[in-house]
Chains A and B, each alone.
Chain A
Amino acid sequence: MELRLNSIRLIEHDQAEEFTFGEIEKMEENMAIAFINPEDFEEMYLTKSLKLHLFNEHGEVVVRFEQDEKIPKGTIAMPVSIWSNQLTSTKNGKLLNKNIPVNCEASRDPPTKLTELIKKIKKGGET
């Protein structure tokens, strides 16, 4: 299913002060998350035990999710983080982090770890 990703500020999942959570595990718990509309949840036949695999031309990531009726149908929201930025891009020297097409499917994989993302960034840099 294709949804439009918006990366947003959420005080309980906030990285504005970057990495203030103190522990990597706590950061992963707070930041590797997406919020979807309950109708999209139904359409994707999701259950609470599943995770979301989000991918597009820029990258991919697995995150846990919560239903939130305030998120418009057809969109998905993620806190601004290294996880959301696997899917964002740039345009004319500006960040493009709203209304980004992402493919979204259910996954039984665990959320992507910070160390995996760092490894991917380093590896990508070498090639």
Chain B
Amino acid sequence: MKFKKIVCTGCSLLCDDIIIEENDNGRIEQIIGACVRGKERFKSIKSQNRILTPLIRENDDLKEAAWDEALKKTLQMIEDSSNPILYGFSTTSCEAQAEGIRLARAIDGFIDSNSTICQGITLEKSKETGVTMTTLTEIINKGDIILLWGFNPIESIPRLLNKILFSRGKFRMTGREIKTLIVIDPVETASYKIMGPRDIPLLIKPASDLELIQALKKICKEEMEIPSEGIAGIDKMDLERLVANLVDSENISILIGQGMLQPSDDGDPLKELLELIEILNTVNEKGRVSIIMGGGHFNMTGFDQTALSLTGKNHSLQFKDSTLIDTEDNIITKIEKNDFDLSIIVGTDPISHLPLEISKKLVTKPMILIDNKKNSTYYVADVVLPTAITGVETDGTAFRIDEVPIKLTKLYDPPNDLPSDEELLIKINNKIKEE
């Protein structure tokens, strides 16, 4: 038996305290410390959905192909394209993301990550308003108030609250007893189950976040009293407790979830929330309010960081003549407008996670899929190139949910000598350079 301490890539928390116990045959005997999602990640090594050989679509069926043949086909598809899009990259390493950006530059493509339609929206909005961000370590050591707004980490990032709410910190020695959890959500999510007497569960009326935020902005500036009937389905006393905590605590962290990213006809809840934070940081004389963006994929924030460091722009990169050019498009508008003639999908499943109308348009053009497992996109791809599982069969760098870089560990060699995403993209980049 032997034990290995590793980083889990089950979600964006990138837990670095997971212990793998192996038997004498090098097989996993048990996984200590991982949540359900983390365990699934390790189990995926042996998943029957694993893609182990390259595949090329002939008529309606995917046929196994040799690597040389699949790469030749891939290069031919790229050569035939004048307007390719590259999409995904949130479940791979920063090194692979960098190679993806190099590929987009080399073939005058457009590259975007899942972040653009997820928490990258928060980052984008914060360019207009400015924002204070925090880290998990700061919340552990100094946090007083943890506010989950439209965010249910129990289901999406299961160990997050174990770490930031229940832990003791340098300046918050009693941990859970003095940290207050506030949840604003229209659904009584699983996160409500861990609430204690000092916590504040706020069941908001569906789709009325904007109404609450706009009122809070006025209340915090003392331009408005809390009405006796409450606001957005939340009663007056709960709102008074909420406001008291927001304006009079030392360290407040707002964790923003998908629920806050929805476009609205009446206004922009996310922009208004960032403005509310700005107001709170003015009126709160004790401390400050900061945010964490609740993205789930293990390296979603990594793409923003990688793109920013390589190009000065964090997402939606359009290259022309190997130069980054301005664009208002993102991956959704590119597909909506049919403004592409080839898609290269890396480590994601757009056919499952994008609306039907977008999926229908995506399948009208040739598609190359780089992934380690079958998914809905696998069934429509024209070429499938299998790769190793990042953070299990290959190492690299990823950015945690709080934008902190974490070194990933390799645990096993991949089956069939599968290349990592990075190695495969380097190979494609080198072949394009040669030609």
Q: Which residues of chain A have a CB within 8 Å of any CB of chain B? A: 4, 6, 8-12, 14-23, 58-59, 70-72, 74-75, 77, 80-82, 85-99, 114-115, 117-118, 120-122, 124-126
B106 within 8 Å of A (CB atoms): no
Kindly count the residue-residue contacts between A and B in the assembled complex, taking CB atoms under 8 Å apart. 159
> Which chain B residues (138-192) contact chain A, with CB distance < 8 Å?
152, 154-156, 158, 186-190
B429 within 8 Å of A (CB atoms): no
| With known contacts A59-B356, A70-B187, A80-B353, A118–B376 Cβ distance under 8 A | yes
Identify the closest chain B residue to A115 (Cβ). B379
Distance in angstroms from B407 CB to nearest chain A CB is 21
Which of B14-22, B26-34, B40-48 is the interface stretch? Answer: B40-48
Check B357 against A58 for contact (C-beta < 8 Å).
yes
Check A10 against B354 for contact (C-beta < 8 Å).
no
Task: Count chain A CB atoms within 10 A of each CB in B41, B376, B379 and give the residue with the most.
Answer: B376
Which of B127-135, B328-336, B413-421 is the interface stretch? Answer: B328-336
Check B353 against A15 for contact (C-beta < 8 Å).
yes
- Complex partner residue of B156 from A9, A88, A96, A121, CB under 8 angstroms: A9
Contact with A along B76-89 (1 / 0, CB 8 A): 00000000000000
Bound-complex Cα distance A115 to B362 (A): 17
Bound-complex Cα distance A26 to B325 (A): 45
Chain B residues within an 8 Å CB radius of A89: 355, 357
| With known contacts A118-B379, A122-B363, A14–B356 Cβ distance under 8 A | no
Known A85-B355, A90-B358, A93-B332; further 20 A-B contacts with Cβ < 8 A: A9-B152, A9-B156, A10-B155, A11-B154, A11-B158, A14-B37, A15-B352, A16-B37, A17-B44, A19-B349, A19-B373, A22-B48, A70-B188, A85-B359, A94-B121, A94-B261, A95-B261, A95-B355, A99-B262, A125-B363
Distance in angstroms from B334 CB to nearest chain A CB is 9
Check A125 against B364 for contact (C-beta < 8 Å).
yes
B227 within 8 Å of A (CB atoms): no
Check B49 against A19 for contact (C-beta < 8 Å).
yes
Check A16 against B349 for contact (C-beta < 8 Å).
no
Distance in angstroms from A114 CB to nearest chain B CB is 7
Check A18 against B356 for contact (C-beta < 8 Å).
no
Check B155 against A18 for contact (C-beta < 8 Å).
no
| With known contacts A22-B49, A75-B206, A93-B332, A122–B380 Cβ distance under 8 A | yes
Chain B residues within an 8 Å CB radius of A77: 187
Chain A residues within an 8 Å CB radius of B188: 70
B109 within 8 Å of A (CB atoms): no
- Complex partner residue of B360 from A4, A9, A99, A124, CB under 8 angstroms: A124
| With known contacts A72-B187, A94-B263, A96-B262, A17–B361 Cβ distance under 8 A | no
Check A90 against B352 for contact (C-beta < 8 Å).
no
